[in-house]
Chain A
Amino acid sequence: MSKTQHPVELLRFNTCGSVDDGKSTLIGRLLFDSKSIMEDQMEALERSADITGGGQVNLANLTDGLRAEREQGITIDVAYRFVATPKRKFIVADTPGHVEYTRNMVTGASTANLSIVLVDARNGVIEQTRRHSYISASLGIPHIIFAVNKMDLVDWSEERFREIRDGIESFLPKLDLFKDVKFVPISALEGDNVVTFSDKTPWYEGPTLLGHLESVHIASDWNLNGFRFPVQWVNRPNNPTDKTLHDFRGFSGQIAGGIVKVDQEILVLPSGQKSKVKEIWTHDGSLEEAFCPQSVTVVLEDNLDVSRGDTLVGFDPLPGHSSDLAARVCWMNPRPLTSGNKYYLKHGTQTVQAMISSLESKIDIRTFEPEPNPVELVMNDIGEVRLRTSKPLVFDGYTTNRLTGSFVLVEQGTNATVAAGMLHSPAQQYKPEYTDFSI
């Protein structure tokens, strides 16, 4: 799989920051300067500029695709955009700045490898800067860029830029660790240091924003330690396309961590049965080995009872296995989260019932300090909770594996998605009952 005709890497990033920090303008600028805007889009922009913008083309209208967004001049929901340069392909999530649309910011950020947090050079670090930095760190986004925007409005002051950088660097140690952090002084409106270097910042020696996006090391962002395979769908053909496969019984899914090889010993959890990998089947032919995040169909040596929601795991290391869980949650519903509430919890490929057994703390976004024993979490709060699930989960800590360490809560009745949850590392690993294993 490694050798192909198009060895082009894909980087997913999101832009966040407060309203009017210029997120949509920045993406508009990236699209415009990398020539990813087409003539008909430009014509549409000019048409709308004549109507609402007093003749001035508004780059933000490129991503604010909803009528309500253009009316109010704000971003309500994530817009996804696509930029390709000779070096990389990018999926860009333009996420809303308003605090009431934090759920949509989390949506856009959850799948990103990199976050750009915009800071208005005039206003400096404000609560939304802190909130979005905290959420980006909690979501385990490995790379972050603080783009200090509207530098033209502070006369390209190096002192102001340093002041903002120092302010951010003073709170970063309180957050979960990023792999790398960059600060770039820009003007999204004028384009300085976005795609091309600005002659107004001789004191800035770092890369342009796009230069960094094109070069930041992302190849190791997927988890290749500890095989995890949540079974999505049992593949048992009634009428196989290949008649020799009438006894075929495979387990289809996407590898959520690690590498799997033919003949490797695996455990089926939660049942604890062990087996060996007989075949890694794909429509394009069998593989000797497969890795995260490939989608494959695994055939086992033994005829075991395995169904959706079960997880095939490797031994080194074993995951956690518990129905008593500790997690950080980002609450996204107008009805508050309180202790004793029941929800559906979707984790990997299984949905179980979950009860909030206690609210441990709520994060104060101004200080990043936990407030112990809050009564409730309201919309956009982030806090630490304990949950009990109706069935044990097979999981890893979110900081170890973003796929096996994450869950969402769904409200019963309305089916609204109400929380994003990030599990803490298990207190203890699953203990196999067998002793005949060499681990």
Chain B
Amino acid sequence: MSSYHLDHLQYLETESIHVLREVAAEFERPAILFSGGKDSICILRLAEKAFRPSDIPMIFLNVETGHEFPELIDFRDRRAEELNAKLVVRTVDEALEKGIATATPGQISRNALQIPVLLGAIDEFQFDCCIGGARRDEEKARAKERFFSFRDAFGQWDPKNQRPEIWSLYNARLNPGENMRVFPLSNWTETDVWEYIKKENLEVPNIYFSHERECFRRGDQWLPVPPVHEESGKADPYEGARPSEEEESRTMICRVRTIADMISTGMIESPAESIDDIITEVAAARVTERGSRADDKASEAAMEDRKKAGYF
């Protein structure tokens, strides 16, 4: 092999840096969707590589369902501060109060309610581009995404009529009110993400590593038992998301493979204590990452339908 050669991680890295710089150059008010999860952690490192020694020229945005793992929130806030970035958080609770979002009766998960909150934030801050950590290997509707994914004035994705995306010449042109979603990790796999985290020595929230936790069985998932509801007089935010009498509960040695919120994240039994352990575990896994996501199990087109409505 010649010395002028990039291995696969270096190739993926330079492609992603190129995409991030195109965003900085072509858009006026771009935002990075930063949840504190492993994919967005990689995005932040890539942004450092793209823009240092300058500040990352983008606001960080996170949409909270109100059911977050506290470890993730702590990590998110700390990381944003370390990077000297401006972090904007918008919540489903606020949106419900303001009437931007309306809950579906009987629906416990707030996954779909993130859509109006995200669209509200885009409108509030006039973001013309939102960078997300979605990858094409995650899910088959995502496998169809462009790097630069055009959304109309209603935030909708039209999968049957996407802009051709040829070479690395990204068409970033928008009319007023329209919006772009950009996915720098489009060509990365779950294994690539962990190998990059290892190579770059990146810190990840500790819930990715094996720990002891009370879980209960619902459907084919082990869901975390939500924190105890202490504020008497107020409605329990986890109503319906607690184990019933019939549902089996037990203490597990487990970790998360992918993180949504506490209601939608299946825990996996795992002894993985290090990044190396995780890489080995992912390599041997016989189910996909999103196999542990309750939000994707709704139907075969669950992701496509949410994306059409404005999901990222």
Cβ of A224 under 8 Å from chain B: yes
**Stretch among B106-114, B117-125, B229-237, B280-288 lining the A interface:** B280-288
- In Å, the complex CA distance between A103 and B189 comes to 26
What 1/0 flags go to A206-223 for Cβ under 8 Å of B? 000000000000011010
- In Å, the complex CA distance between A344 and B165 comes to 15
Cβ distance A101 to chain B, nearest Cβ, rounded Å: 10
| Identity of the chain B residue whose Cβ is nearest the Cβ of A75 in the assembled complex | B144
Chain A residues positioned under 8 Å from B22 (CB to CB): 232, 349
Are A39 and B54 within 8 A (Cβ)?
no
Cβ of A259 under 8 Å from chain B: yes
Scan residues 121-142 of chain B and give those whose CB is less than 8 A from a CB of chain A.
136-137, 139-142
Cβ distance A354 to chain B, nearest Cβ, rounded Å: 14
- In Å, the complex CA distance between A136 and B238 comes to 55
Chain B residues positioned under 8 Å from A6 (CB to CB): 7-9, 195
- In Å, the complex CA distance between A47 and B300 comes to 9
**Stretch among A167-175, A267-275, A403-411 lining the B interface:** A403-411
Across the interface, B186 reaches (CB within 8 A) one of A9, A79, A80, namely A80
- In Å, the complex CA distance between A252 and B51 comes to 8
Across the interface, B4 reaches (CB within 8 A) one of A62, A291, A406, namely A291
Scan residues 178-220 of chain A and give those whose CB is less than 8 A from a CB of chain B.
219-220
- In Å, the complex CA distance between A219 and B136 comes to 25
Chain B residues positioned under 8 Å from A431 (CB to CB): none
Cβ of B153 under 8 Å from chain A: no
The interface size of chain A toward B, counting residues with CB under 8 Å, comes to 83
- In Å, the complex CA distance between A76 and B140 comes to 13
Cβ of A308 under 8 Å from chain B: yes
Across the interface, B141 reaches (CB within 8 A) one of A65, A81, A349, namely A65
Chain B residues positioned under 8 Å from A107 (CB to CB): 146, 164-166
Cβ of A386 under 8 Å from chain B: no
Cβ of A67 under 8 Å from chain B: yes
Cβ of B2 under 8 Å from chain A: yes
Cβ of B250 under 8 Å from chain A: no
Are A39 and B287 within 8 A (Cβ)?
yes
Across the interface, A63 reaches (CB within 8 A) one of B13, B21, B143, B146, namely B143
Chain A residues positioned under 8 Å from B288 (CB to CB): 38, 40-41
Are B140 and A241 within 8 A (Cβ)?
no
Given contacts A82-B137, A417-B165, contact A68 B160 (CB under 8 A): yes
What 1/0 flags go to B154-182 for Cβ under 8 Å of A? 00000110111111110101110000000
Across the interface, A238 reaches (CB within 8 A) one of B18, B54, B160, namely B54
Cβ of B52 under 8 Å from chain A: yes
Across the interface, B52 reaches (CB within 8 A) one of A10, A78, A81, A283, namely A283
Which residues of B line the A interface, CB within 8 A?
Answer: 1-15, 17-18, 21-22, 24-25, 48-55, 84, 136-137, 139-144, 146, 159-160, 162-169, 171, 173-175, 186-187, 189, 191, 195, 199, 285-288, 291, 300-301, 304
Apart from A82-B189, A417-B171: 18 A-B pairs, beta carbons within 8 A: A2-B5, A6-B8, A10-B12, A38-B288, A41-B288, A66-B159, A66-B301, A76-B159, A77-B159, A80-B186, A104-B162, A107-B166, A254-B14, A282-B49, A283-B48, A295-B13, A415-B173, A417-B164
Which residues of A line the B interface, CB within 8 A?
Answer: 1-2, 4-10, 38-41, 44, 47-48, 62-68, 70, 76-82, 84, 89, 91, 103-104, 106-107, 110-111, 219-220, 222, 224, 232-233, 235-242, 245, 248, 252-254, 259, 282-284, 291, 293-295, 308, 332, 344, 346-347, 349, 402-403, 406-408, 410, 415-417, 420
List 8 A-B residue pairs with CB atoms under 8 Å apart, sorted by A's residue number. A48-B300, A79-B144, A81-B136, A82-B137, A91-B187, A233-B21, A235-B53, A240-B53
In order of increasing CB-CB distance, the 3 nearest A-B pairs are A65-B140, A40-B291, A237-B54
